[in-house]
Amino acid sequence: MARQRRSQASSGADGKGNKDKGANSSSSNGSNPPKPIKSTGGILSYWKHFIGFSCFAIAVGVGYMGYLETRVNTPYDEKKMVVRSGLDIPERFWGSYRPGVYFGLKTRDPYSLITGLMWYFPKELKPGGDGIRHWCEQGDGLEKYGWLQHDGSSFGVQEIHDGPFVITTSFVKRLGGTHGGDWTARITVDIKPGRKVPEDRKEVSLIWYSVLDDNSNGYIKPSNTGSFLTGVRGETPGLGEFTIKLFNYTGTVEHESYLSTITPGLHLLKETIISSMRLAEIKPSRVRSVVLAGELLPATGATKAQPNFIATQVGSKVPFTLDVVFESGSFGTRQNTLVGDVYSEALTWHQSRFVQRFEDTFHLKTKGYGAKEINFAQAALSNMIGGIGYFYGTSRVQSAYTKEPVPYWRAALYTAVPSRSFFPRGFLWDEGFHGLLISAWDLDIELDIICHWFDLMNVEGWIPREQILGAEALAKVPEEFVTQRNTNANPPTFFLTLDYILHKYKDQLTNGRLITLERLYPRLQAWFSWFNTTQKGLEPGTYRWRGRDPLTNRELNPKTLTSGLDDYPRASHPTENERHVDLRCWIAIASGTLANLATLLGRNSYKYYQTHSYLTDNNLMDALHWSDYAQRYADYGYHTDAVELQRPKLSPRSQTPQNLEMVRVMKKNPEYRLVDSTYGYVSLFPFLLRLLEPDSPKLNKTLTDIRMPTLLWTKYGLRSLSKNSPLYMKRNTEHDPPYWRGQIWININFLAVLALNYYSVTEGPYQEHAKEVYKELRANIINNVMKQYYETGYIWEQYNDRTGKGSGCRPFTGWSALTVLLMSEHY
């Protein structure tokens, strides 16, 4: 899927052309001399007799343009949101904060000791290192992987199915001392029940590595104390002194080797391992095996360079269990080491505590669900929680005033991710949905996540929507998609999270949590204000997503990546007169949430209530967006339905290559109108975000329409675009398959279920009707997401509207995991 990814490719249009681009005075190549700025013109003419006037003019020009230029990467000037980080919160210091790898632990520290697992089956190892597992890659073709249990702070259990093998990875933390305590990770490799593997194919090689970021002060060294397997000892400012020891808990070690070297970067760990692999004869069996090369360190004068990367490879036969024991030097005296049976017991204890907490939170057993359903729900929650990462680095951003992209400030981000394989990084619009489930599980984790995101706000009130921080994250994103533009919005879904928190956990918002909300409030105001001004439309009370390309002739309907709904059809010809009904609804609920928060905090809420009641006035909304003709809400813009993609015809003698790309042709000219032949998610927003009055006949109409199989209704949830919409399941270019043009998406379905629940419990003439549809839709979504999980091993990005099958990327345990909240009706 190319969500947000393609955004930058096509968003070159916004911000250009309407602003004076030539005025980038600090660019080094000098090809664009600074143009005088209007406001300084008077001063210039007055001073023109004086020697040195040109210096002065340039100084003013540079000063002013410099100011505009630096706004994009100047932090918002208020108290920082994150006031406790790193070791201030010892229980969240260590964690599985690397969602992009199958298994690894690091700390919530800008420069951390990073540990992780790679594995391969020697018989499957291909030249070039193909077959070594490390990063979560769809191309590895694993039948299934993901957390079965994870509580976000003290332990986790994951299962990975690789061919006939099942690999279980778990970790347990033990707090103590002043540096975040101890942990143990366990890796068990076994054969799947019912699968037969020939004796000579039962070999497995596990590689456990430790790496120090370039910027960490401290050292790591190979160490052989305590176990015959090579471990590590080291020291960093954050961790103090520590050791890592490896033990074979069950099964015998056939061969062991290690690597101690300098890796050029965190994104090249696998490459570093591969380049150190050697073939060696193992005594006494004399079998030839692939081993690691030992010390590979350049000599620097008399002394050897310090390694920053140490890996131990353990070769053995399945079944096999490896325990990796991290012990903090500051721990003091331990009763015992967290290894072997002691570890097993600790893990069992955590697991039963998890099961209890899960039931206390979601009440699935009480609601009558069986083991199969509960296991699914636990896995869904655990993948959301276990997918939380900690990233550190600089985004690349661009404004109309910077000629080239410029670095954002160095920042940390603690965030969940949409997909460990395909999107292992923070996404603004996803995160507000994630926040619903995360706050239900652990309110403090969610508030911590919110704090990190709002520290990424710049002085304009803008938050970049895709966060690519650090070498590992960057390595997963093609270069041309990295830059974020400050003209571009994304749905402000954090207002959904906050609304949920205010509504559901109001009585828990005391002390530190209240203080956090106090600090958040001015930033939310700035964020709101950014949306309310930069995204507004030409007419009062209208709003418009930026970033659509008005010039393209390649796209059937120019994408609106900023809306989060990518290729969902809008007006065929983007113009400034457009108005987008979904954005208007987002701003309406944002103002309402802000008003409620202001009231809670004893601030003046008047302005937000006023904007809220203005934007929720159904008459005004109808005047701008209701189509009497089609009886539905719609965008407004310069539009024609009569478009199609065609291959350009060539004259017979043309010299041009034959494979010219398809272009859009129009059969009818566009006109200003409501885009009301299209029916789908966007049409539903006044209903989805509960802006429709409960007694509005339009609610009745909506309830009737979404239940129609010819429009949006399927046995698996609501499809994104009705079957009779002109662009239903149409490709946007010959290279872009449909994405939000029919497929079923769980985040929007979740909003629909919430809305149906709301209208079924809110006094009004359509309560019963809403209740019926609520029950059916909720059941359909839960049943299908769960069915597909058991059939395919994964929760998916989207689901096919004809078959219910998962599509897009996997695992996708971001908002698709909201199914847990639907099961528990926890809203």
Ligand X SMILES: *[C@@H]1O[C@H](CO)[C@@H](O)[C@H](O)[C@H]1NC(C)=O
- For the annotated catalytic residues, the residue numbers are 566, 797
Amino acid in the structure at residue 547? G
Give min distance, CB of 256 to ligand X, in A: 8
What 3-state DSSP class applies to 216? coil
Question: Closest CB to ligand X among 308 and 593?
Answer: 593
Question: Closest CB to ligand X among 528 and 789?
Answer: 528
* Distances 47 to 36, 63, 64 between C-alpha atoms, Å: 14, 18, 18
Using CB under 6 A, which of the segments 71-79, 251-259, 421-429, 436-444 binds ligand X?
251-259
The one among 71, 192, 353, 607 contacting ligand X by CB under 6 A: 607
Amino acid in the structure at residue 224? N
Running DSSP on this structure, what letter comes out for residue 371? H
Q: Which residues 25-54 are close enough to bind ligand X by CB under 6 A?
A: none
Note whether 704 binds ligand X by CB under 6 A. yes
Using CB under 6 A, which of the segments 33-41, 347-355, 603-611, 819-827 binds ligand X?
603-611
Residue nearest to ligand X (CB): 252
Question: Closest CB to ligand X among 166 and 703?
Answer: 703
Note whether 715 binds ligand X by CB under 6 A. no
d(CA 292, CA 279): 9
What 3-state DSSP class applies to 562? helix
Note whether 300 binds ligand X by CB under 6 A. no
Question: Closest CB to ligand X among 152 and 764?
Answer: 764
Note whether 285 binds ligand X by CB under 6 A. no
d(CA 380, CA 157): 13
Q: Are 350 and 338 in contact (CB under 8 A)?
A: no
Give min distance, CB of 362 to ligand X, in A: 34
Note whether 700 binds ligand X by CB under 6 A. yes
Note whether 707 binds ligand X by CB under 6 A. no
Give min distance, CB of 546 to ligand X, in A: 15
Q: Which residues of 74-88 are buried (b: 16+ CB within 10 A; e: fewer)?
A: eebebeebbeebbee
Using CB under 6 A, which of the segments 405-413, 429-437, 505-513, 606-614 binds ligand X?
606-614
Determine how many CB atoms are found less than 10 A away from the CB of residue 729. Answer: 16
- Give 367's Cβ-side CA count (13 Å radius): 17
Give min distance, CB of 447 to ligand X, in A: 24
Question: 779 is written with which tokens?
Answer: 């059941």
H or E segment to which residue 623 belongs: helix 618-625
Note whether 252 binds ligand X by CB under 6 A. yes
Question: Closest CB to ligand X among 250 and 352?
Answer: 250
Note whether 253 binds ligand X by CB under 6 A. yes
Note whether 536 binds ligand X by CB under 6 A. yes
Give min distance, CB of 608 to ligand X, in A: 5
Using CB under 6 A, which of the segments 27-35, 249-257, 368-376, 814-822 binds ligand X?
249-257
Residue among 621, 639, 556 nearest 585 (CA): 621
* Distances 540 to 14, 344, 562, 621, 722 between C-alpha atoms, Å: 22, 64, 21, 11, 30
Note the helical H segments in 299-412.
340-362, 371-386
Amino acid in the structure at residue 196? K
Residue among 319, 317, 322, 292 nearest 201 (CA): 317
Give min distance, CB of 203 to ligand X, in A: 14
Give min distance, CB of 237 to ligand X, in A: 35
d(CA 457, CA 670): 39
Question: Closest CB to ligand X among 515 and 538?
Answer: 538
Give min distance, CB of 150 to ligand X, in A: 28
Note whether 248 binds ligand X by CB under 6 A. yes
Note whether 257 binds ligand X by CB under 6 A. no
Running DSSP on this structure, what letter comes out for residue 192? P
Question: Closest CB to ligand X among 641 and 772?
Answer: 772
- DSSP codes of every residue in 803-827: T--EESSS---SGGGGHHHHHHT--
Write the binding mask 154 to 173 for ligand X: x where contact by CB under 6 A, - elsewhere.
--------------------
Question: 319 is written with which tokens?
Answer: 């079944």
The one among 32, 765, 768, 803 contacting ligand X by CB under 6 A: 765
Determine how many CB atoms are found less than 10 A away from the CB of residue 562. Answer: 27
d(CA 420, CA 423): 6
Give min distance, CB of 612 to ligand X, in A: 8
Question: 42 is written with which tokens?
Answer: 């008077």
Using CB under 6 A, which of the segments 106-114, 528-536, 642-650, 737-745 binds ligand X?
528-536
* Distances 400 to 12, 53, 814 between C-alpha atoms, Å: 11, 28, 33
The one among 74, 168, 532, 762 contacting ligand X by CB under 6 A: 532
| Burial of residue 285, with CB atoms counted within 10 A of its CB: 0-12 exposed, 13-18 middle, 19 or more buried | exposed
* Distances 596 to 583, 652, 762 between C-alpha atoms, Å: 20, 68, 19
Note whether 608 binds ligand X by CB under 6 A. yes
Question: 689 is written with which tokens?
Answer: 């975000």
Question: Closest CB to ligand X among 565 and 691?
Answer: 691
Question: Closest CB to ligand X among 220 and 770?
Answer: 770
Residue among 67, 37, 8 nearest 402 (CA): 67
Write the binding mask 579 to 598 for ligand X: x where contact by CB under 6 A, - elsewhere.
------------x-------
Question: Closest CB to ligand X among 709 and 765?
Answer: 765
Q: Greatest CA span in the chain, whole angstroms?
A: 94
Question: Closest CB to ligand X among 73 and 542?
Answer: 542
Note whether 306 binds ligand X by CB under 6 A. no
Give min distance, CB of 289 to ligand X, in A: 14
Give min distance, CB of 522 to ligand X, in A: 14
Note whether 710 binds ligand X by CB under 6 A. no
Torsion of Cα atoms, 623 then 628 then 629 then 633, to 10°: 70
Using CB under 6 A, which of the segments 246-254, 639-647, 654-662, 746-754 binds ligand X?
246-254
The residue ranges that bind ligand X (CB under 6 A) are: 248, 250-253, 529, 532, 536, 591, 607-608, 611, 700, 704, 765
